[in-house]
Amino acid sequence: MANTGASRVGHIPINLALLRDAGTLVDDSLLDAAGRSGRQQPGQNLGLLCYNVTKGIRGGGNDMLTFPIYLDHHATTRTDPRVLEAMLPYFTEQYGNASSVNHAFGEQAQAAVDAARHQVALLLNAHHRDILFTCGATESNNTAIKGVAEAYRHKGRHLITVATEHPSVLGPCEHLERQGWTITILPVDEFGRVAAAQVEDALRPETVLVSVMLANNEVGTLQPLAEIGAVCKKHNVLLHSDATQAVGKIPVDVQQLQVDLLSLSAHKFHGPKGVGALYLRRKEPRVRLEPLLHGGGQERQLRSGTLNTPGIVGLGKACEIAREEMAEEAARVAALRDRLYRGLLDRVPDLYLNGHPTERLPGNLNVSIGYVQGEALLLSLPSLALSSGAACATKSNEPSPVLRAMGRSDELADASLRFGLGRFNTQEEIDFVLEELPKQIEKLRLLSAAWQGRTPHPV
């Protein structure tokens, strides 16, 4: 798929004209107003060009929509203003190094890092000393997989993971394979799920680690992690989970899940980019880890490097907000997602849900649309910021490996849209999608010979 980010945003003026051409969404007065007032909105949408359109949306009255409408919350999220506010002093006033504690600056930074460690631990039902700060989930996953492999290589050289894992899990596994490890990659069912029994059957005496994600970043499917945790516990094998898409969105309790290591990233739940954490169990069992980074010995010698105090403060604040607001937010976002799905089902024939119907993230909707080319559809939707798959895969022309692993045909895997809804989405935005998307699909299908002479689609 083509990169759907900057290039599409760069075409906004043309896109507004396209919107007018579509006839129903943007009338001339709206286009004129947007043309005159179209300007960068400081602080909005990460500084991208935004156009506030305050009238002319059909049925919208005075409702205000900001384009493009952001529906790519699996790729990243807007930093919550409350998070940013908590971080700012640690850039400008309390800029000490948390390891340099011979003066007030360092002490303040250390106290802020300690407080954040407690906030992260509280969200996960972990002990605060079990939290290591990293620069994000890619580092956490690499540290967990390579670090455990290195520390336990005397036990054996076998690892188990799943076909639909994120590249930051599959990549370190491939690296180990090149070093002579054996990696079992478990297949998933049509919903993207792996069963605990599959994990149990794949275990060997020399298995060192099982790594299974909690929630998938493309289709939102939740894995039965507590059941897998029980199996690993029974057989005395360590379990790591990439919970990057789940933390902050659904309850994640490391005791209940019986995981030994767990990765998370602040920017996936309205925290800043470039900061994450690794949960590392210290007791029953005590997990040993070879560090990836050697140097100053920060983070209990396990992750050297000066701590990113503002980022860590932001991660802590994002965890605190999530803990307080998750239940209400998940219900609200899931209701918007369901409205979107039902609305699309009503308006678009040949539309297929990807992922599990109920065991999925509240903000995820992934659909394949028959007789439409995915990239063409995305290009026809300049008013929507959404993706056809994982952000890190949008530069590849291959159909999504996740959808392929779930048994989708190449054609339907190629015609998929991933909606990622989040904290700041509104019903008005969803209703706009429900007007705009079916219209563009219809237009593209009118150009498709296959659609004209269609037969029921092979799923």
Ligand X SMILES: Cc1ncc(COP(=O)(O)O)c(C=O)c1O
Interacting residues toward ligand X by CB under 6 A:
136-138, 166, 168, 213, 217, 242, 244-245, 265, 276, 391-392
**Structure tokens belonging to residue 35:** 């043309």
CB of 76 to ligand X, least distance (A): 8
- Out of 50, 173, 232, 392, which one is annotated catalytic? 392
Residue nearest to ligand X (CB): 136
Nearer to ligand X, 245 or 380 (CB): 245
Active site residue 232: no
Cβ pair 291, 300 in contact under 8 A = no
180: left (phi over 0), alpha (psi -120 to 50) or beta: left
Nearer to ligand X, 137 or 219 (CB): 137
> Could you count the other beta carbons within 10 Å of the beta carbon of residue 164?
29
- CA dist 236 → 210, 239, 256, 307, 402 (Å): 11, 9, 16, 33, 29
Nearer to ligand X, 108 or 168 (CB): 168
CB of 107 to ligand X, least distance (A): 29
Nearer to ligand X, 38 or 136 (CB): 136
Nearer to ligand X, 207 or 265 (CB): 265
- CA dist 299 → 36, 95, 192, 288, 303 (Å): 53, 19, 35, 14, 5
d(CA 228, CA 189): 16
**Structure tokens belonging to residue 358:** 């109920």
d(CA 97, CA 399): 45
Nearer to ligand X, 291 or 311 (CB): 311
| 397: Cβ contacts below 8 Å, ≥ 6 apart | 1
CB of 248 to ligand X, least distance (A): 12
d(CA 116, CA 458): 50
Exposure b/e, 140-153, CB count within 10 A at least 16 = b: bbbbbbbbbbbbbe
Nearer to ligand X, 321 or 390 (CB): 390
Kindly report the length of the chain: 459
Exposure b/e, 426-444, CB count within 10 A at least 16 = b: eeebbbbbbbbbbbbbeeb
DSSP letters of 146-183?
HHHHHHTTTT-SEEEEETT--HHHHHHHHHHHHTT-EE
CB of 383 to ligand X, least distance (A): 24
CB of 242 to ligand X, least distance (A): 5
d(CA 128, CA 121): 5
CB of 355 to ligand X, least distance (A): 14
CB of 180 to ligand X, least distance (A): 26
Question: Which residues form the catalytic set?
Answer: 392
